[in-house]
Homo-oligomer: A and B are copies of this chain.
Amino acid sequence: MDWSIQEIARIAGTTSRTLRHYDDIGLLKPSRTGHNGYRYYDGPALVQLQRILLLRELGLGLPAIAEVLYRETDTVKALNSHLEWLAQEHDRLARQMASVRQTIDTMQGDGKYMAQDMFDGFDHTQYKDEVVERWGKDAYAAGDSWWRNMSADEKQQWKDRVSKLGADWMAAAGSGVAPDSAEAQDLARRHVEWLRGIPGTPTAVPGGDVKGYVTGLGEMYVADPRFAANYGGESGATFVRDALRIYAEGNL
């Protein structure tokens, strides 16, 4: 009154490999083993198997299933905690989808956001005079050479990063969180890290006055509408400036 491994696999709608695996990890042992090593399963084993497969379809991991089957763990309790995990994953995916959509929108540049041509990823040829005046000749030379030596593709990528950062700033400013919130401070951290990628600026030079530089940049974003545009205008730039100042004072 028992079945071979292939038979029971077919009956239960799974594969023999799965049954061997369950045997290996001790989740479901065959009810009988032939002298030749063949595995045979009887009725109760089939019941166990189908119970396993049912729980598996619900997304439980094999250790959790074993817990339910062979320890004193309540099935309903296990399913409830599993449900909680599923809900978290569900939320995480929703947030990630929102992020991806936001990024796509920003990269496509739907006109409403991003005055990309104005900011243009710190295009030093466009802002030469200001750059020299604000950060010195050496900084300009280093930054300019760096920018010129990038391939068109690298430049585009740089611009994309700038766009993404700007979009995230606007989203944060628009969501009503405070400049000293964890979210805004994390953006500030990203912002500073991004600045480190520009050679010649104090953030990229050992011993540079990063704090003063970052704080000053924030002021510039507010004062200069060409930069403010990248953060949703003056109100957005003000948010960025405040967040950056708080970050600089606390971390730089």
Contact = CB atoms under 8 A, between A and B. Distances in A.
Given A43-B198, A51-B157, A157-B47, A101 B75 contact: no
Contact of A103 (B44, B79, B99, B158): B79
Contacts of A93: 86, 89-90, 93
A125 interface: no
A197 to B, nearest CB: 5
Contacts of A69: 157
A43 B197 contact: yes
Contacts of A198: 43
Contacts of A83: 97, 100-101, 104
A59 B92 CA distance: 11
A138 interface: no
Nearest to A105: B76
B108 A76 contact: yes
A85 to B, nearest CB: 10
Contacts of A79: 100, 103-104, 107
Interface in A75-114: 75-76, 79-80, 82-83, 86-87, 89-90, 93-94, 96-97, 99-101, 103-104, 107-108
B90 A104 contact: no
A250 B44 CA distance: 28
Interface string A104-135: 10011000000000000000000000000000
A192 to B, nearest CB: 9
Given A47-B158, A83-B97, 12 more contacts: A13-B190, A44-B149, A48-B154, A57-B99, A58-B99, A69-B157, A79-B100, A83-B104, A90-B90, A90-B93, A90-B97, A93-B93
Interface of A: 1, 11-13, 43-44, 46-48, 50-51, 54, 57-59, 69, 75-76, 79-80, 82-83, 86-87, 89-90, 93-94, 96-97, 99-101, 103-104, 107-108, 142, 146, 149-150, 154, 157-158, 160-161, 164, 189-190, 193-194, 196-199, 204
